[in-house]
Amino acid sequence: MRRSDFAYDLPEKAIAQTPLETRHNSRLLTTGELGDHRFVDLPDLLDPGDLVVVNETRVRSARLHGRKAKTGAKVEALVLRRVGPGVWEALLRPARRLRVGTVLDFGALRAEVLTTPVEGLATILLEGDDDPEILIEEVGETPLPPYINRRLPDGERYQTMFARELGSAAAPTAGLHFTKTVVTGLEERGIAIAPVELKVGIDTFRPIETEDISEHVMHRERISIPEGTATAIASTRAEGGRVVAIGTTVVRTLESRPDGCGGVVAGDEETGLFIVPGFDFKVVDVLVTNFHLPGSSLIVMVAALMGPGWKQVYEIALRRGYRFLSFGDAMLAERHQ
């Protein structure tokens, strides 16, 4: 399979630059009958006894602006994850002139470059007068995707209502559509909600660079599945319900720890799972997700779940004026049999 197999023409005007004032007013395309709905209709589009699984990760204020301590040259760091005591993985820009040992000044935080940046990615030692995790939140800003050209007046609009565990470099954007109204509707229809966590990392920002997608290596991300969620999935299976993943991060989490019986094994790990067409889905039945960038690992996953009809669905969504990417609309897709 080639990267070009997962390309499509995305007009700039289709990229949503701002979130809607009311989250659940975003549009929702059902891929079966190609029906147009609003996200607030989600409870009526699912079945009683289904289980909705959400990612409860919270976006870190991970974009740091600073200068080289020695020369004063401007530098930017997107802090991705902690990999050791005081040691963090980060995307640095501009990276080509950063050498091992370079000291960066971010105000309350200082960083030393520990490894030579590769495609901008390096490890850095972060130090300050408090826990770097706390200081990152104090001095950093919300790291919106590069295709968003406006700042958010309220950073909470890039957090889902489920956000609990701080640690992601980007939001699990399918969850951005949820409101208390939607959650109440699900509860009234007999549809439970269960959490997992995937700390979103570099692959949200990094496109597939290889033409042969089998040569693409996914960045490893930390996932966690609580015991209660594993139990809820097992009960849903036993009663004939479906597992509904809210976003590609949830798919990746659940399919990384299948138990062989339609459920999952609770626990924590790092996953490098890359889901491509031909993948044998063992847990997820339905996916609710936004419309993704051409040629990205996310759209490859969508194609794996939906089958070859994914491209027609995207073409129809563009013709009907759906808004694309992080602040855009969503679709509801059942797993292709």
User: Of 85, 86, 68, whose CA–CA distance to 77 is shortest?
Assistant: 68
Grade residue 192 by pLDDT with cuts at 50, 70 and 90: very high
Average pLDDT over residues 285-305: 96
Q: Give 169 or 254, the one with higher predicted confidence.
A: 254
Q: How much is the mean pLDDT over the chain?
A: 94
Q: Is 24 helix (H, G, I), strand (E, B) or coil?
A: helix
> Could you tell me if 106 and 89 are in contact, meaning their C-beta atoms sit under 8 angstroms apart?
no
Residue ranges and CATH numbers for the domains of the chain are 3-59+153-334 (3.40.1780.10), 63-139 (2.40.10.240)
| pLDDT reading at 72 higher than 90 | yes
Position 217 scores a pLDDT of 87
Q: What is the pLDDT of residues 312-335, one digit of tens each?
A: 999 999 999 999 999 999 999 999
Please state, in angstroms and as integers, the Cα–Cα distance from residue 144 to each residue in 11, 140, 256, following that order.
20, 12, 27
Average pLDDT over residues 295-310: 95
For residues 8, 10, 29, 195, the Cα torsion angle rounded to the nearest 10 degrees is 90
Average pLDDT over residues 99-127: 95
Position 207 scores a pLDDT of 77
Position 154 scores a pLDDT of 86
Instruction: Report DSSP letters for 72-132, one per residue.
Output: --EEEEEEEEEEETTEEEEEEES-TT--TT-EEE-SS-EEEE-S--BTTEEEEEEE-SS-H
Other C-beta atoms closer than 10 Å to the C-beta of 105 total: 15
Average pLDDT over residues 278-292: 97
Position 204 scores a pLDDT of 64
| pLDDT reading at 226 higher than 70 | yes
Average pLDDT over residues 72-98: 92
pLDDT cut 90: percent of the chain above it: 84
| pLDDT reading at 337 higher than 90 | no
Position 153 scores a pLDDT of 82
- By DSSP bridging, strand 121-127 and strand 192-198 are unpaired
Measured CA to CA, the distance from residue 231 to residue 51 in angstroms comes to: 11
Residue 209 identity: E
Q: Give 169 or 207, the one with higher predicted confidence.
A: 169
Position 167 scores a pLDDT of 86
